[in-house]
């Protein structure tokens, strides 16, 4: 019985191989490319494609057999090899299982393993040919050459995948593999084409294209050395801007210790490339051209199909870098420039850019005047630092700033009343929403980006800006730097963006779940849960090293009814005040505990808004009309508790989020050359009372405008005028621009700055 079943299976193996191969190809391809829902549609399309593939392969075999007979090939190709086609087809289908992989490294390893299996089985079948030595020699040479190219390109593509920060294909699984194979196919196509010419031409011309192809490959390795250096330091590909500014600052990106190490790698890879070519050349000498013509035709066909069939080819660094240089030198690139008029107007806001230099905003110092802004006891032993970023906390909602809502925020009022607390007034947000608001504060950088680009389009998942965590770590020895958020840390790429700031640990909803068995009571953990979790796990009482912890609250996030443990304000009808009061109540409990703890004498606590409240939040009957129709920019809450403080009780210098980091560094007397866009509030900020805000859904100008007339005390009669607009909604003509640098900055001029800065960021000209 068993022998009979075995005989039946053996007899029907071709059919089994065909069915299984088609199933694997369709399953892998559709799993990756088709939406799984509705399930019926997915299954129906897959079944139809499966039948089509099975039928198509059957037709292919018929055509193959007829062509072999027509051209009178030896019996091996008609019998032995023909009978092996089904097995080779099944082996080939195994490549498509890689579509199920969600790990880039595993995808590459798996793909390489299938290549080895496919080569081995091909070798076994070719070994039955009467002139097997010739076919095996060619097949072995092609395999070794293909694997070499694939390994080199895979390594380079993986480096790019990890360091390039504007990669829109970041979330496509196996994208490294697809790019690696696409570039491998590009080089194989050139190899096959040069092989055709080599065997077709008799004179020395037969070597010209092959020599050009070899030189191009070695040149690409050399450029990759520069490209990896640029990626590591800036997060952007090597581009014409680096090339044009090599002597003005970009050279430090392109030529550094990393590049020198990569140059050694370049020499090693070049030597390996030459060794592999020698092996292939030896195979050419041992075999006739007929064998190579077959292989070159197959290689070229597969390569061309892969290049044009895989859209991944057009997202490879090789393609992007080549295209950037082509458009640059052919004049096809539209250069983004900023007029001298706008550059001059920006100086009123404290922005001094030098477009001629690679680092367009290079400054010599963080601050000019050295001040004693910290108690003496913190000079040798830096304090712990806790920064609480309150979600959407405009100062107008806090009783410390606005008595209209007296009693809504008693916890923050207690902090403000403490003799060691400084209240910063006239402090505005520089960006919105949370992720760009935090970047502007922690990195002193006005980001020309927004939530849509970061969260939905994956265009900015990390950066190479110099930020507060990294500076405190390198300058003062902070070793325990953490960021805690109640929501998933992957939201808006907080995990990768904060990691690029120098943060050691990023804790989100899923990570916090390992610390508690409590039910999540908000969009993740509520503020009443978050503060105790932070206290118990991220405030180290026995640590010899100073710790630095940041946390973001969540309860005051739209739609303002997230928390299940809401503490209602008044009659509970005003959702916004309920959520504000809830966040404050959680902080109040924390503050009471803090003032009685060992941290009270050695820990700085900063309570600051991540950004202003969203405009629509207060545009309802529960708020006075003066709170309606707000822009995305507003005065923010900002208070700082310093044990035994020497700071003033209140600071009223007009400032915004860009000044947060320079102010902290000024307090710690940390001064160095930088590219920060803000100033210390205790230093030069008072020279520039005019403020700017920037993000994808709102450009904000808050400019001091003087009419030229003097007041009785000799000062000019000035007022602050606000101008607000959405970049996508601005329609600019010549009337929206001025040629007089003394006139106010217009929104269209600001829009030009927005576009220019995006381009500068893309070119890596704000690198640290």
* Three state DSSP letters for 558-572: CCCCCCCCCCCCCCC
Structure confidence at residue 682 (pLDDT): 96
Backbone angles phi, psi at 117, to 5 degrees: -60, -45
pLDDT at 455 > cutoff 60:
no
Edge-to-edge strands, sheet with 716-725:
691-695, 698-710, 716-725
Token pair, residue 15, equals 């059919």
Name the nearest CA neighbour of 166 among 497, 464, 459: 459
Cα separation of 580 and 575, whole Å?
9
Pairing of strands 716-725, 691-695: unpaired
Q: Count Cβ atoms below 10 Å from residue 280 Cβ, excluding itself.
A: 17
Cα separation of 618 and 628, whole Å?
6
Backbone angles phi, psi at 12, to 5 degrees: -105, 15
pLDDT digits (tens, 9 = 90+) for 608-630: 999 999 988 888 888 888 888 88
CA distances 166 to 96, 324, 457, Å, are 28, 15, 9
pLDDT at 250 > cutoff 60:
no
Backbone angles phi, psi at 437, to 5 degrees: -65, -40
Question: Are residues 701 and 724 in contact, defined by beta-carbon separation less than 8 angstroms?
Answer: yes
Structure confidence at residue 273 (pLDDT): 93
> Position of tokens 């009669």?
717
230 or 245: which carries more pLDDT confidence? 230
- Running DSSP on this structure, what letter comes out for residue 725? E
pLDDT at 712 > cutoff 60:
no
Question: Are residues 414 and 593 in contact, defined by beta-carbon separation less than 8 angstroms?
Answer: no
Structure confidence at residue 254 (pLDDT): 59
∠ at Cα 445 (442, 447), nearest 5°? 110
Non-local (6+) Cβ contacts of 196 within 8 A are 293, 296, 300
Average confidence (pLDDT) over 155-167: 84
DSSP for 353-397, written as a single string: --TTSSSTT-BS-S-SS----S-THHHHSPPEEEEEEETT-BGGG
Burial of 276 (0-12, 13-18, 19+ CB in 10 A): middle
Torsion of CA 252, 255, 256, 259, to 10 degrees: 140
Cα separation of 765 and 441, whole Å?
19
Average confidence (pLDDT) over 207-224: 91
Non-local (6+) Cβ contacts of 599 within 8 A are 384, 539, 541
pLDDT digits (tens, 9 = 90+) for 3-44: 665 666 566 677 888 899 999 999 998 888 888 888 889 999
First vs last Cα of the chain: how many Å apart? 75
Whole-number percent of the chain with pLDDT over 70: 91
Report, in angstroms and rounded to the nearest whole number, the Rg of the chain calculated over CA atoms: 33
pLDDT digits (tens, 9 = 90+) for 298-343: 999 999 988 888 788 998 999 988 988 888 777 766 567 899 999 9
Alpha helices per DSSP H over 127-174: 132-163
> How sure is the predictor about 256, in pLDDT bands with cuts at 50, 70 and 90?
low
Residues in the chain, total: 768
Structure confidence at residue 706 (pLDDT): 86
Exposure string over 427-460, b if 16+ CB within 10 A, otherwise e: bbbbbbbbbbbbbbbbbbbbbbbbbebbbeebbb
pLDDT digits (tens, 9 = 90+) for 335-382: 678 999 999 999 999 999 998 888 889 899 999 988 889 999 998 899
Token pair, residue 609, equals 């808004």
DSSP for 401-460, written as a single string: T-GGGTTS-HHHHHHHHSTTEEEE-SEE-SS-SHHHHHHHHHH----S--HIIIIIS-S-
Question: Are residues 466 and 695 in contact, defined by beta-carbon separation less than 8 angstroms?
Answer: no
Cα separation of 637 and 423, whole Å?
8
Non-local (6+) Cβ contacts of 500 within 8 A are 165, 462, 463, 464, 465
426 conformational bin, left if phi > 0, alpha if psi -120 to 50, beta if neither: left
Selection from 236-245, 255-264, 373-382, 709-718 with the highest mean pLDDT: 373-382
Structure confidence at residue 284 (pLDDT): 87
Structure confidence at residue 198 (pLDDT): 83
pLDDT at 248 > cutoff 70:
no
Q: Count Cβ atoms below 10 Å from residue 591 Cβ, excluding itself.
A: 21
Average confidence (pLDDT) over 473-495: 90
Structure confidence at residue 453 (pLDDT): 61
pLDDT at 215 > cutoff 80:
yes
Residues forming a β-bridge with 719: 705
Cα separation of 629 and 649, whole Å?
32
Non-local (6+) Cβ contacts of 490 within 8 A are 508
Structure confidence at residue 713 (pLDDT): 54
Cα separation of 233 and 42, whole Å?
44
To the nearest 5 percent, what fractions of the chain are helix, strand and coil? 55, 10, 35
DSSP for 516-570, written as a single string: --SPP-BSBS-HHHHHHHHHHHH--SS-SS-EEEEEE--TTSTTS---TT----T
- Running DSSP on this structure, what letter comes out for residue 163? H
Question: Are residues 503 and 481 in contact, defined by beta-carbon separation less than 8 angstroms?
Answer: yes
647 or 544: which carries more pLDDT confidence? 647
Cα separation of 298 and 302, whole Å?
6
> How sure is the predictor about 662, in pLDDT bands with cuts at 50, 70 and 90?
very high
pTM, two decimals, is 0.76
Structure confidence at residue 609 (pLDDT): 97
pLDDT at 172 > cutoff 60:
yes
């Amino acid at each position: 019985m068993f022998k009979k079943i075995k005989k039946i299976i053996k007899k029907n193996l071709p059919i089994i191989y065909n069915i299984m191969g088609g199933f694997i190809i369709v399953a892998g391809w559709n799993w990756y490319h088709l939406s799984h829902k509705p399930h019926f549609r997915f299954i129906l399309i897959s079944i139809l494609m499966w039948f089509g593939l099975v039928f198509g392969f059957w037709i292919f075999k018929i055509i193959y057999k007829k062509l072999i007979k027509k051209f009178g090939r030896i019996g091996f190709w008609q019998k032995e090899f023909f009978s092996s086609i089904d097995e080779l087809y099944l082996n080939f289908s195994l490549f498509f299982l890689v579509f199920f992989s969600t790990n880039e490294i595993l995808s590459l390893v798996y793909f390489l393993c299938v290549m080895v299996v496919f080569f081995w089985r091909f070798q076994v079948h070719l070994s039955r040919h009467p002139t097997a030595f010739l076919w095996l020699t060619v097949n072995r040479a092609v395999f070794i050459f293909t694997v070499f190219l694939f390994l080199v390109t895979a390594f380079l593509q993986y480096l790019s995948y990890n360091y390039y920060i504007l990669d829109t294909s970041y979330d496509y699984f196996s994208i490294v593999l697809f790019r690696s194979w696409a570039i491998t196919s590009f080089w194989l196509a050139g190899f096959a084409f040069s092989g055709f010419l080599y065997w077709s031409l008799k004179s020395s011309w037969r070597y010209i294209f092959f020599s050009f192809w070899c030189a191009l490959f070695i040149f690409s390795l050399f450029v990759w050395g520069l490209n990896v250096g640029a990626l590591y330091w800036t997060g952007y590909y090597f581009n014409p801007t680096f090339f044009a500014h090599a002597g003005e600052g970009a050279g430090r990106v392109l030529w550094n210790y990393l590049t020198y190490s990569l140059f050694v790698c370049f020499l090693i890879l070049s030597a390996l490339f030459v060794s592999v070519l020698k092996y292939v050349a030896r195979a050419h000498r041992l075999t006739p051209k007929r064998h190579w013509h077959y292989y070159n035709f197959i290689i070229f066909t597969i390569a061309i199909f892969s290049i044009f069939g895989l859209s991944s080819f057009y997202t490879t660094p090789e393609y992007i870098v080549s295209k950037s240089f082509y458009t640059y030198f052919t004049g096809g690139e539209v250069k983004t420039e900023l007029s001298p008029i706008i550059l001059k107007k920006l100086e009123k806001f404290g922005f001094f850019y030098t477009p001629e230099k690679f680092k367009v905003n290079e400054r010599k110092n963080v601050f000019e005047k050295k001040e004693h802004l910290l108690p003496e006891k913190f000079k040798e032993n830096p304090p712990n630092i806790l920064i609480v970023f309150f979600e959407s906390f405009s100062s107008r909602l806090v009783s410390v700033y606005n008595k209209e809502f007296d009693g809504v925020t008693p916890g923050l009022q207690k902090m403000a009343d403490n003799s060691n607390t400084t209240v910063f007034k006239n402090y505005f947000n520089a960006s919105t929403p949370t992720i760009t608001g935090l970047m502007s504060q922690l990195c002193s950088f006005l980001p020309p980006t927004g939530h849509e680009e970061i969260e939905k389009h994956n265009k900015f998942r990390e950066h190479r800006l110099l930020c507060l965590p990294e500076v405190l770590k390198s300058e003062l020895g902070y070793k325990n730097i953490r960021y805690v958020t109640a929501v998933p840390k992957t939201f808006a790429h907080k995990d990768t963006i904060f990691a690029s700031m120098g943060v050691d640990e990023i804790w989100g909803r899923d990570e916090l779940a390992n610390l508690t068995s409590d039910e999540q009571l908000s969009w993740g953990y509520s503020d009443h849960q978050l503060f105790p979790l932070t206290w118990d796990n991220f405030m180290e009482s026995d640590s010899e090293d100073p710790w630095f912890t940041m946390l973001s609250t969540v309860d005051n996030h739209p739609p303002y009814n997230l928390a299940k443990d809401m503490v209602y304000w008044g009659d509970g009808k005003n959702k916004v005040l309920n959520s504000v009061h809830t966040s404050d109540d959680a902080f109040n409990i924390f503050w009471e505990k803090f003032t009685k703890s060992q941290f009270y004498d050695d820990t700085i606590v900063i309570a600051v808004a991540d950004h202003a409240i969203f405009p629509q939040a207060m545009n309802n009957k529960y708020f006075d009309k003066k709170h309606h129709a707000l822009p995305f920019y507003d005065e923010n809450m900002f208070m700082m508790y310093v044990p035994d403080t020497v700071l003033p009780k209140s600071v009223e210098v007009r400032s915004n989020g860009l000044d947060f980091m320079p102010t902290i560094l000024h307090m710690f007397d940390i001064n160095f050359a930088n590219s920060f866009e803000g100033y210390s509030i205790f230093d030069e900020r008072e020279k520039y009372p005019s403020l700017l805000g920037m993000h994808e859904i709102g450009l904000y100008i808050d400019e001091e405008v003087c009419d030229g007339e003097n007041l009785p005390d000799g000062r000019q009669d000035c007022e602050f005028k606000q101008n607000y607009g959405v970049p996508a909604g601005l329609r600019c003509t010549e009337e929206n621009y001025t040629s007089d640098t003394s006139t106010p900055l217009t929104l269209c001029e600001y829009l030009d700055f927005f576009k220019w800065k995006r381009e500068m960021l893309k070119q890596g000209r704000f690198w640290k």
